[in-house]
Amino acid sequence: MNLQDFSRYKAVARLTSLAGQPHDLAAADGLDPQRVAAYVCSSCGYDLLYATQRVNDAVLDALQELADEAGLVDAFLAMKTGVVINRIDGYASENRQVLHTACRDVFSGNPLEPELTAKSSQELAKLQRFLSDLDNGTIVNAQGQPFTTMVQVGIGGSDLGPRALYLALQRYCRQGRSARFIANVDPDDVAAVLRDLDLSRTLFNIVSKSGTTLETLTNEQLVKAQLLKAGLDPARHMIAVTGESSPMDDVSKYRASFYMYDSIGGRYSATSMVGLVTLGFVLGYEAVRDILAGAYRVDVAAEERDIRRNIPLLLALLGIWNHNFLGCATVAVLPYSQALCRFPAHLQQCDMESNGKSVTREGKNVSWATGPVVWGEPGTNGQHAFYQLIHQGTEIVPVEFIGFRESQHGVDLDVAGTSSQQKLVANMLAQSLALAVGKFDENPARRFSGNRPNSVLIADRLTPESMGALLAMYEHKIAFQGFCWNINSFDQEGVQLGKVLANRLLAIIAEGGNQSQPKETSLHREEAMLIQAGML
């Protein structure tokens, strides 16, 4: 890979100059039908409408130049072929390949990184047998009854992606199958989930790559205690997804084990066994293949070098334009689909954990903005909530709308001449237009400045395949941005300090009962915090 510091690209200088006068969407001719028709990028079943971004052909040309100069597609190919890109030159680091695409490369006759793709195929075959054993009565509870619920116990990457996909595809669940999720170390989370369940018909899927995640191991203990209390054998009700030879890789404790690999980061692991076991349980094996196929299509399409024909690359560059050149601190992802209600939370992790960094791949401090704050809720709900600020606030919030032409359930009704689904999509397009063009009014409180950049990503219907495609589009958007900022998007050193301090506080609490009250002069700030919070 031949990445340089962001500030040194010629295209960055050109874009800085262009940003002095960005395209005026609120002008009389700022958004005409020709522009709407021209600024569309179609790929893998999706159309990206970006006429409502503050770009013109000169900006798009400069963004293309940036993509070429930085070699973004070459970096992406390096990632896919297994170059060790999860590293910081000259310093200790994870020093790993980044191969979430390899578990989708199972559709290729000639996979780019054959070793991990072969392992992925093995795990898929194992999953297929496991699912079939559940169906044919080989895997049942002590009474010989089939399992109806799978509870995934995991946190972060072992929770957000799988949960978002489950909610997105819940409509396609097999009769009599459902899933629940436990993540938080908050004991109320476990208690609330377990309260409603028939434990005798439940399988717990414990997911932790290291096999040492504090929250997950604690929750596993809580679950075990409840199973024992109900007179059930934990080993019969638990399966595991973990790294090979982790402390959790133990056939005596789990009914089945699936492997995850070091070269697939947690936040990119939804299409590995981390997501697919639970999704397979509720949706069936065919849907698992469809999710992978959708993602695979995008993995291939994202090799396209023309930014106007590559949705993830274009999303990445439009994001960089808004963030680094127009100065917007956040980006809102607003799906007009209730099924995607937790997809923004997944992206929040995937994006912010990847690109919330301050040092380059060479360990120097960056002098440019890296990842924005990512947030969002489904529309139309948000229209009745935070859209006020997006339209009229002093913070400019770039928006990425996501929508579908058809509903999932097909249960709909015409009210006042249009269906609910038509109302949903019309509202999304109306918001896109309103943010872009604004409106003058004599009453200053009713004035809309417009020029609030946004884009619309739309497909026919949210299915396993289009969900897989959407997931991969955003994964690659994030990777392209990280390459462009010359940061390592694949480590997460920033989560360590909190862990260390939490363990120190817990040690003080655990010893608390044995000690006399420390004198105030010898207090450390950790103890002072605990005392003030009423925990000592």
Q: Does 345 bind its own copies (CB under 8 A)?
A: yes
Binding residue count for its own copies, defined by CB under 8 A: 158
Contact partners, residue 332, CB within 8 Å, separation at least 6: 374, 375, 376, 390, 397, 398, 399, 400
Query: Which two three-digit tokens encode residue 205?
Result: 């899927």
- Considering beta carbons, is residue 166 or 296 the nearer one to its own copies? 166
- Please check whether residue 401 is in contact with residue 431, taking contact to mean a CB–CB distance below 8 angstroms: yes
Residue 506: CB minimum distance to its own copies, A: 5
Q: Does 386 bind its own copies (CB under 8 A)?
A: yes
Q: Does 293 bind its own copies (CB under 8 A)?
A: no
384 is an active site residue: yes
Long-range contacts of 412-415 (CB under 8 A, 24+ apart): none
Residue 129: CB minimum distance to its own copies, A: 31
Q: Does 137 bind its own copies (CB under 8 A)?
A: no
- Considering beta carbons, is residue 8 or 439 the nearer one to its own copies? 439
Residue 383: CB minimum distance to its own copies, A: 6
Q: Does 326 bind its own copies (CB under 8 A)?
A: no
Q: Does 217 bind its own copies (CB under 8 A)?
A: yes
Q: Does 431 bind its own copies (CB under 8 A)?
A: yes
Distance between CA atoms of residues 399 and 376, nearest Å: 9
Distance between CA atoms of residues 220 and 214, nearest Å: 10
Q: Which residues in 356-385 contact its own copies (CB under 8 A)? A: 356-359, 363-366, 368-375, 377-381, 383-385
Residue 128: CB minimum distance to its own copies, A: 28
Q: Of 105, 290, 353, 400, which lies in the binding site for its own copies, with binding defined by CB under 8 A? A: 353
Question: What does each C-alpha distance from 292 to 161, 271, 346, 364, 468 come to in angstroms?
Answer: 14, 7, 18, 37, 6
Residue 138: CB minimum distance to its own copies, A: 29
Distance between CA atoms of residues 29 and 497, nearest Å: 52
DSSP string over 84-144: --B--TTS----B---GGGGTGGG-SS-SSHHHHHHHHHHHHHHHHHHHHHHTTSS--TTS
Residues 113, 215, 220, 353: which is the catalytic one?
A: 353
Residues 10, 364, 439, 499: which is the catalytic one?
A: 499
Q: Does 525 bind its own copies (CB under 8 A)?
A: yes
Residues 229, 384, 409, 519: which is the catalytic one?
A: 384
Distance between CA atoms of residues 343 and 351, nearest Å: 12
Q: Which residues in 219-238 contact its own copies (CB under 8 A)? A: 219, 221-222, 225
- Please check whether residue 429 is in contact with residue 385, taking contact to mean a CB–CB distance below 8 angstroms: no
- Please check whether residue 314 is in contact with residue 492, taking contact to mean a CB–CB distance below 8 angstroms: no
Q: Does 111 bind its own copies (CB under 8 A)?
A: no
Q: Does 148 bind its own copies (CB under 8 A)?
A: no
Q: Does 141 bind its own copies (CB under 8 A)?
A: no
H/E element holding 204? Answer: strand 202-208
Contact partners, residue 44, CB within 8 Å, separation at least 6: 294, 297, 298, 301, 311, 469, 473
**What sign results for the dihedral spanned by CA atoms 255, 257, 258, 264?**
positive
Q: Of 8, 10, 309, 446, which lies in the binding site for its own copies, with binding defined by CB under 8 A? A: 446
Query: By CB under 8 A, which span of 235-243, 248-256, 313-321, 435-443 interacts with its own copies?
Result: 435-443
Residue 186: CB minimum distance to its own copies, A: 4
Residue 233: CB minimum distance to its own copies, A: 19
Q: Does 129 bind its own copies (CB under 8 A)?
A: no
353 is an active site residue: yes
Distance between CA atoms of residues 315 and 297, nearest Å: 17
Q: Of 101, 269, 432, 481, which lies in the binding site for its own copies, with binding defined by CB under 8 A? A: 432
Q: Does 47 bind its own copies (CB under 8 A)?
A: yes
Mark 389-405 as b/e (b = at least 16 C-beta within 10 Å). Answer: ebbeeeebbbbbbbbbe
Q: Does 534 bind its own copies (CB under 8 A)?
A: yes
Q: Which residues are catalytic?
A: 353, 384, 499
